[in-house]
Chains A and B, each alone.
Chain A
Amino acid sequence: MPAVSKGDGMRGLAVFISDIRNCKSKEAEIKRINKELANIRSKFKGDKALDGYSKKKYVCKLLFIFLLGHDIDFGHMEAVNLLSSNKYTEKQIGYLFISVLVNSNSELIRLINNAIKNDLSSRNPTFMCLALHCIANVGSREMAEAFASEIPRILVAGDTMDSVKQSAALCLLRLYKTSPDLVLMGEWTSRVVHLLNDQHMGVVTAAISLITCLSQKNPDEFKTCVSLAVSRLSRIVSSASTDLQDYTYYFVPAPWLSCKLLRLLQCYPPPEDGAVKGRLVECLETILNKAQEPPKSKKVQHSNAKNAILFEAISLIIHYDSEPNLLVRACNQLGQFLQHRETNLRYLALESMCTLASSEFSHEAVKTHIETVINALKTERDVSVRQRAADLLYAMCDRSNAKQIVAEMLSYLETADYSIREEMVLKVAILAEKYAVDYSWYVDTILNLIRIAGDYVSEEVWYRVIQIVINRDDVQGYAAKTVFEALQAPACHENMVKVGGYILGEFGNLIAGDPRSSPLVQFNLLHSKFHLCSVPTRALLLSAYIKFINLFPETKATIQEVLRCDSQIRNSDVELQQRAVEYLKLSSIASTDVLATVLEEMPPFPERESSILAKLKKKKGPGAVSVTELDDGKREAGELNGGGDRGPDTASTPSPSADLLGIRSAAPVGAAQTNAVAVISHFHSYPFIPYLSCCLSASIPALFCGLSLHPCPVLWPPSSAPPSEDPAPPLSEADELLNKFVCKNNGVLFENQLLQIGIKSEYRQNLGRMYLFYGNKTSVQFASFTTTVSCPGELHKPVEPLVEGGAQIQQVLNIECITDFSDAPLLNIKFSRYGGALQNLTLKLPVTINKFFQPTEMSSSDFFQRWKQLSQPQQEAQKIFKANHSMDTEVLKAKLLGLGTALLDNIDPNPENYVCAGVIQTKSQQIGCLLRLEPNAQAQMYRLTLRCSKDTVSKRLCELLAQQF
């Protein structure tokens, strides 16, 4: 029995609770409750007026019943009556009942608000606090309407008691979160910020939560809080453990307040004022130093509180991402925790290191812990810790360690917990693709993945391997050979059969020379799996068979036999039956030519973001997506799917929407036979339909569809029209940002506190497509988000007007180069945030004339012949300039290739010089360009010479390029 009974034991209540506890069964409990409900109802309805105590007791019983999980549909009025009692405990129970059970019964809300109003104006601090707690607990819009203007006054009034201030601050925070439009800080702003200086630590602790939330949404208005927060933090950090009396927790001074201060600072960039910054860095160093001191207590509370501050400090260091020294120290500290005996610390260290891994300053330092992390993946007993280890391995993976990490993850998969297998499979598939140096490794990895964890290999993963094999002809033979071998295992996963069917159907001919994998052997191998497979796989196999007939005429009779048998041609499944009938017919009546056309090898797939990456993001929820997405995009550039190394021969201009449904019905199909067309599209569209849902920014599906399904043409007229009225002039750094993209197509164009704009673009001939990703870095919605592209020319492209906090939206621009041009199109972005001023910024879209280059290979003699042809003085542009960047050969080569021209070897008699040639494709004409770059390493100078068939182009290219080296 409890040692004390503080306060007013309500005997009737205690008896009732005892009764309930003594009930032997659920039925008995319900019976007892119904009896009590009937009793209370009759009391409330009775003629005799109840006294306050009884009312309180019954209301409390109802509350108890509700908390047991039963519905309560009466008693609200009695509870509201209690609010106006002048007895504290009755009032208190009334408020508790309202806080727990209130629903938006408008009539009651009015009464409740009345009672609250009375208590707020009572000047009795205990009553005021009760009323404020109630508002904070309920936090409804009606309450915000009634009290949002009153509470700031209470908060800053000079004569308000500290405890009331504390409640008022958090009460206001709650109202601000539910109805930000109703809480107008305006005149109170500076006084609220100055609560950070309050003498009472409790007031600061409560107020800072409010200030943090307000700062997130209105960083500019609240920015004075930075220096105040730094000085408060510095006082706490340097205080002795006893200075703060009751705010010291297990020898740690004010841990909650310290964490909140560090959190507040994360709403802002590093302080500009050198003194403030210095002081802050000192604080952070002190916190890191303290972590190395011996503990002042053995209690876990001491170390938890101390480490809570440490982790928050590390979050701030990562947020600033500008102090390499602190980042590396943070990484070392976390490295120590990786081997700590406390599971909690190991977990948090793994989690925190994941974010450190994405900082360029600490990525390498994180990588040094690879062995420890792999070990954690193997030996941690708690699955949530192993999950963190897997996340960290994924985050620290790069080209240098990909093989090791992928191998470890694969071997972990064999024993991994079911709950995390699917995610692990996605991660392995993504890493394998992203860091594939040779594609045979990639194919091996994915087939291993299917072998080890076939059940968890989602469709996206095996679609992806097929997509890549189809797009890369250097790996097709190897893939056919490997999958053929894999299929020889006695039991192989159905996903392996699908991949096998598809790949052998397309590329079986590449291994057919070997008698061990002759056409008939291949067919028999596939067909031996047929009967164990599900309908969709069988459908796929049937398509593979018809492809076989085309590839290997000698298999025709055997396959027709199979198609003709009853189990196919009379299959009860319509899809299978239709395929069998159509394929049989097709193979018997079509001429070899028609057959060859209809069943031609699949055309390459359009290059687009890996669908598995999108899936992983989706799995991870929106929070994880926002910022990393662009990073991934950036890193991916030029990788397997980036298309950077693909020749210009692909027939696929990516179209992010239409082709997903197979409408892009394979170019080679002549519409000769309706049947044949149907056949092809079965085969073609079947495995790829899901791509519709797989593109980027899964975070706002509805919005996303609206956008990308309507790519919008930006025309490219030659004349430059004046930009429309409102947009701000281009940012001062717009040109600089533009220059970053002359030699590359993907990356982050712009980033500030609020917004990040990422770009992916691809060009072919005189056409281009640009994907713009607008990421909202804040936690609050952007409203009336509009973007306008005014190139020389005008175009208004509606974007979805709202960008949710943390979310990202995508916009697609189609670009056509009509004629040569010098000025980049302007991109104007406007949006507003709750309570913030309208943001209006204008950038230059990185569309430069060189994007439309087609590389031209030519011999030395051709080159010099053309060079001489372009000898008119205005056709040549030349510049001599100082090197701004490294003069490293490889870097220069990469840049020149990024420019889009062909880099020609053995042309210039001086091997130090670089010579390039290309043709700029515009709609109206082609412009031939020759380039010569002569570096002088000693002088750190370059001479750049351009000769083009059009003088304006020579000039423009010369200007652009002079910025690049």
Chain B
Amino acid sequence: MSISETDRGLHRWSPHLACSSAGDFEMVAAVAARSGEQMQFMLLFSRQGKLRLQKWYVPLSDKEKKKITRELVQTVLARKPKMCSFLEWRDLKIVYKRYASLYFCCAIEDQDNELITLEIIHRYVELLDKYFGSVCELDIIFNFEKAYFILDEFLLGGEAQETSKKNVLKAIEQADLLQEPRHEYFNVPVY
């Protein structure tokens, strides 16, 4: 994905809310203790709405995760290009940006900084791009585990761990060097 930008564009929310019906949501969210400011989750999905990567920084049940994903994908895809990259959604702030065919979408809390989150997304895209060499959606589909490893080096527990591109890639490449050669190791096939 050569970093072509189609600009697009976020409040806090409780770990328990998604299981409850829309009606009780406000109440549940009100009661839930705040976890402090941090990113709550990051989702990567395609223009067709297919989820390509999901990273959750707050404990949620599978059912809740699915519900949130469904709603959010729908909300973000319904927005027109050139709209602002931020929106309020439930109790959270959503920051999103589209790169080629992929949407990168982060949920942050009320006090969090939208712009710096937008640049977190961008730095992650840069890392993927550098690692895969002009990354595209297929790289992330076929090497999803790598996409997770890179993300873990960059963000941990929803907070930036290492923002230097060089240092993150160094860590990943070191790990790659530790790999054991093996007969079945080929390039991924042509699709």
Q: A216-B36, A781-B33 are in contact. Are A247 and B164 (CB under 8 A)?
A: yes
**Bound Cα distance from A205 to B153, whole angstroms:** 13
| B83 in contact (CB, < 8 A) | yes
A255:B29 contact, CB within 8 angstroms: no
Q: A1-B191, A9-B186, A12-B184 are in contact. Are A381 and B113 (CB under 8 A)?
A: no
Which of the candidate stretches A462-470, A491-499, A694-702 sits at the interface with the other chain?
A694-702
Q: A1-B190, A300-B7 are in contact. Are A64 and B144 (CB under 8 A)?
A: yes
Q: Mark B134-176, 1 if CB is under 8 A from A, else 0.
A: 1110110111111011001000110111111111000100111
8 A Cβ contacts from A55-70 to B: 60, 63-64, 67, 69
| B34 in contact (CB, < 8 A) | yes
From A92, A100, A305, A382, B175 is in contact (CB under 8 Å) with A92
Q: How far is the CB of A426 from chain B (nearest CB, A)?
A: 14
| A791 in contact (CB, < 8 A) | no
Q: How far is the CB of A188 from chain B (nearest CB, A)?
A: 18
Which of the candidate stretches A163-171, A397-405, A407-415 sits at the interface with the other chain?
A163-171
From A10, A174, A254, A699, B184 is in contact (CB under 8 Å) with A10
B159:A89 contact, CB within 8 angstroms: no
Residues of A within 8 A of B36 (CB): 177, 212-213, 216, 779
Residues of A within 8 A of B122 (CB): 301, 304
| A666 in contact (CB, < 8 A) | no
Q: A63-B145, A126-B175, A166-B162 are in contact. Are A348 and B114 (CB under 8 A)?
A: yes
Count how many chain B residues have C-beta atoms less than 8 Å from C-beta atoms of the other chain: 85
Residues of B within 8 A of A212 (CB): 36
| A343 in contact (CB, < 8 A) | yes
Residues of A within 8 A of B9 (CB): 343-344, 347, 384
| B54 in contact (CB, < 8 A) | yes
CB nearest neighbor in B for A306: B115
From B132, B134, B174, A126 is in contact (CB under 8 Å) with B174
8 A Cβ contacts from B71-102 to A: 80, 82-88, 91
B34:A308 contact, CB within 8 angstroms: no
A305:B116 contact, CB within 8 angstroms: yes
Residues of B within 8 A of A69 (CB): 51, 66
| B118 in contact (CB, < 8 A) | yes
Residues of A within 8 A of B134 (CB): 3
Q: How far is the CB of A617 from chain B (nearest CB, A)?
A: 10
A202:B161 contact, CB within 8 angstroms: yes
Q: Mark A609-633, 1 if CB is under 8 A from B, else 0.
A: 0000000001101110000000000
From A381, A382, A387, B88 is in contact (CB under 8 Å) with A387
Q: A7-B146, A206-B156 are in contact. Are A53 and B184 (CB under 8 A)?
A: yes
Q: How far is the CB of A248 from chain B (nearest CB, A)?
A: 9
| A897 in contact (CB, < 8 A) | no
A177:B152 contact, CB within 8 angstroms: no
Q: How far is the CB of B4 from chain A (nearest CB, A)?
A: 12
**Bound Cα distance from A701 to B36, whole angstroms:** 22
Q: How far is the CB of B79 from chain A (nearest CB, A)?
A: 8
Q: How far is the CB of A462 from chain B (nearest CB, A)?
A: 22
A2:B132 contact, CB within 8 angstroms: yes
A249:B119 contact, CB within 8 angstroms: yes
CB nearest neighbor in B for A93: B145
A343:B83 contact, CB within 8 angstroms: yes
Q: A3-B132, A807-B30 are in contact. Are A126 and B178 (CB under 8 A)?
A: yes
Which of the candidate stretches A132-140, A443-451, A534-542 sits at the interface with the other chain?
A132-140
**Bound Cα distance from A794 to B43, whole angstroms:** 57
Q: How far is the CB of B62 from chain A (nearest CB, A)?
A: 8
A804:B161 contact, CB within 8 angstroms: no
Q: How far is the CB of B77 from chain A (nearest CB, A)?
A: 15
A2:B138 contact, CB within 8 angstroms: yes
A136:B188 contact, CB within 8 angstroms: no
B161:A8 contact, CB within 8 angstroms: no
B91:A206 contact, CB within 8 angstroms: no
Taking each of B111, B165, B184, which has the highest tally of chain A beta carbons within 10 Å of its own beta carbon? B184
From B59, B85, B139, A344 is in contact (CB under 8 Å) with B85
B30:A700 contact, CB within 8 angstroms: yes
| A806 in contact (CB, < 8 A) | yes
Residues of B within 8 A of A385 (CB): 84
CB nearest neighbor in B for A217: B36
A137:B116 contact, CB within 8 angstroms: no
A201:B164 contact, CB within 8 angstroms: yes
Taking each of A2, A71, A171, A263, which has the highest tally of chain B beta carbons within 10 Å of its own beta carbon? A2
Q: How far is the CB of A227 from chain B (nearest CB, A)?
A: 23
Q: A8-B185, A126-B175, A133-B152 are in contact. Are A623 and B11 (CB under 8 A)?
A: yes
A5:B188 contact, CB within 8 angstroms: yes
Chain A interface size band reads: 35 or more
Q: Mark A18-41, 1 if CB is under 8 A from B, else 0.
A: 100100000000000000000000
From A64, A140, A209, A623, B159 is in contact (CB under 8 Å) with A209
A136:B156 contact, CB within 8 angstroms: yes
| B26 in contact (CB, < 8 A) | yes
Residues of B within 8 A of A263 (CB): 37, 111, 113
Q: How far is the CB of A285 from chain B (nearest CB, A)?
A: 20
8 A Cβ contacts from A676-724 to B: 698-701
**Bound Cα distance from A64 to B174, whole angstroms:** 25
Residues of B within 8 A of A429 (CB): none
B156:A167 contact, CB within 8 angstroms: yes
CB nearest neighbor in B for A166: B161
| A893 in contact (CB, < 8 A) | no
Residues of B within 8 A of A544 (CB): none
| A887 in contact (CB, < 8 A) | no
| B23 in contact (CB, < 8 A) | no
From A9, A170, A618, B188 is in contact (CB under 8 Å) with A9
B86:A246 contact, CB within 8 angstroms: no
Q: A6-B131, A249-B119, A701-B27 are in contact. Are A136 and B187 (CB under 8 A)?
A: no
B5:A15 contact, CB within 8 angstroms: no
**Bound Cα distance from A92 to B177, whole angstroms:** 13
A170:B113 contact, CB within 8 angstroms: no
Residues of B within 8 A of A126 (CB): 174-175, 178
Q: How far is the CB of B93 from chain A (nearest CB, A)?
A: 10
Residues of B within 8 A of A87 (CB): 180
| B31 in contact (CB, < 8 A) | yes
| A268 in contact (CB, < 8 A) | no
Residues of A within 8 A of B157 (CB): 136-137, 139, 170-171, 173-174, 177
**Bound Cα distance from A166 to B161, whole angstroms:** 6
| A437 in contact (CB, < 8 A) | no
CB nearest neighbor in A for B167: A202
| A456 in contact (CB, < 8 A) | no
| A661 in contact (CB, < 8 A) | no
Q: A7-B179, A87-B180 are in contact. Are A804 and B115 (CB under 8 A)?
A: no
Residues of B within 8 A of A300 (CB): 5, 7
| A257 in contact (CB, < 8 A) | yes
A88:B179 contact, CB within 8 angstroms: yes
From A177, A311, A347, A621, B84 is in contact (CB under 8 Å) with A347
A308:B86 contact, CB within 8 angstroms: no
| B110 in contact (CB, < 8 A) | yes
Q: A7-B179, A246-B166, A779-B34 are in contact. Are A305 and B160 (CB under 8 A)?
A: no
A7:B115 contact, CB within 8 angstroms: no
Q: How far is the CB of B35 from chain A (nearest CB, A)?
A: 5
Q: How far is the CB of B133 from chain A (nearest CB, A)?
A: 4
Q: A202-B164, A205-B162 are in contact. Are A17 and B141 (CB under 8 A)?
A: yes
A21:B141 contact, CB within 8 angstroms: yes
From A3, A96, A171, A305, B156 is in contact (CB under 8 Å) with A171
B33:A247 contact, CB within 8 angstroms: no
Q: How far is the CB of A410 from chain B (nearest CB, A)?
A: 23
Q: Mark A211-254, 1 if CB is under 8 A from B, else 0.
A: 01100100000000000000000000000000001110100001
From B80, B132, B163, B187, A9 is in contact (CB under 8 Å) with B187
A-B contact pairs, 8 of them (CB 8 A): A11-B184, A15-B189, A170-B156, A209-B159, A246-B167, A304-B119, A308-B113, A623-B11
* 10 nearest A-B pairs in the assembled complex, by CB-CB distance: A308-B115, A308-B116, A88-B178, A246-B164, A174-B157, A170-B156, A209-B159, A343-B84, A622-B30, A382-B83
